[in-house]
Copies of this chain bind each other. A is one copy, B any other.
Amino acid sequence: MAEIICTVDVVLLTLLDGQLRVALLRRDHEPFPGVLALPGGYIHPDQDGDTQVAAARVLLEKTGIVSPYLEQLATFSGRGRDPRGWSLSICYYALVPTEVIRLAGHPEVVLVPADGIAGLPFDHQQIVAAALERVRNKSSYSSLPVYLCGDTFTLPQLQSVYEALLGEPVNKVSFRRKIEEFDILEPIEGAMETGKAHRPAQLYRLKSRYRNRLSLTDRGLGTG
């Protein structure tokens, strides 16, 4: 019986210049050496507890990042996707603020606009498309986008993150109502966004029970 190649791949997403971007790396091995691709690698049964751990390990090794949000996306498989043979990749996606990528100190990480991405090896384009669909879909009913913000942020900032993801303006009152009912944010006592020539905005952060969690319920934070 033929061998099955078992790998994990991670779609690491971030928001830069109001644009959703995917973190890519130049491959240093065959196949497709030198080509930009998703961070990925073989599962190591001897060291990985499961594929989620494998994905976190691969992400850390290749980008230096530990993402609080890392969720399984889907498994892609088949004969055609890898020239080495019948393969299978359990794919995950992660959301982090851009600072996290910058501070991870891996300058070889390239942030490519997620929409209209092309030229990726294997079936990475499909994988990215699936991740985008999932993230945008979840953004329409959950608190997922907070993972693209830093530790503290204002509601207008968070709103603009939602708008960037959904690609359309969202109603201010409805937005605030929704966030309120998710009940995941708390205002930081007395902390305001300063320096702007207008009324300062309240700074918020995730409530403590939602911070630093490594993998959450399938429906994301909040009530979903």
**Residues of chain A whose beta carbon lies under 8 Å from any beta carbon of chain B:** 1-4, 6, 43-46, 49-52, 72, 74-75, 77-79, 85-86, 88, 90, 130, 133, 137, 218-219
Query: Is the Cβ of A75 less than 8 Å from the Cβ of B75?
Result: yes
Q: Are A4 and B49 in contact (CB under 8 A)?
A: no
Do the beta carbons of B44 and A1 come within 8 Å of each other? yes
- Chain B neighbourhood of A43, CB < 8 A: 4, 77, 88
A195 to chain B, nearest CB (A): 43
Report the minimal beta-carbon distance from A208 to chain B, rounded to whole angstroms: 26
The answer to whether B72 touches A219 (Cβ under 8 A) is no
**How many angstroms from the CA of A85 to the CA of B85 in the assembled complex?**
23
Task: Considering the complex, give the chain B residue whose CB is closest to the CB of A86.
Answer: B45
Min CB–CB distance A209 → chain B (angstroms): 22
Chain B residues in 8 Å Cβ range of A6:
4, 6, 88
B residues in contact with A75, CB < 8 Å: 51, 72, 75, 90
User: What are the residues of chain B within 8 A of A44 when measuring CB–CB?
Assistant: 1
Task: Judge whether A51 and B72 touch: CB under 8 Å.
Answer: no
User: Could you say which of A45, A88, A130, A137 has the most chain B C-beta atoms within 10 Å of its C-beta?
Assistant: A45
A45: B residues at CB distance < 8 A: 1-4, 79, 85-86
Q: When the two chains form the complex, which single residue of B51, B52, B78, B133 contacts A50, counting CB atoms closer than 8 Å?
A: B78
- Expressed in whole angstroms, the Cα–Cα distance for A45 and B2 within the complex equals 6
Q: How far, in angstroms, from A75 to B9 measured CA to CA in the complex?
A: 13
B-chain residues with CB within 8 Å of residue A1 when the two chains form the complex: 44-46
Contacts of A51 in B (CB 8 A): 75, 77-78, 88
Given contacts A43-B88, A50-B77, A88-B90, 7 further A-B contacts (CB under 8 A): A4-B45, A6-B6, A45-B85, A50-B78, A51-B77, A72-B75, A137-B219
The 8 closest A-B pairs by CB, nearest first: A45-B86, A50-B78, A2-B45, A51-B77, A50-B77, A75-B75, A75-B90, A4-B6
Taking CB as reference atom, which chain B residue is nearest A137?
A: B219
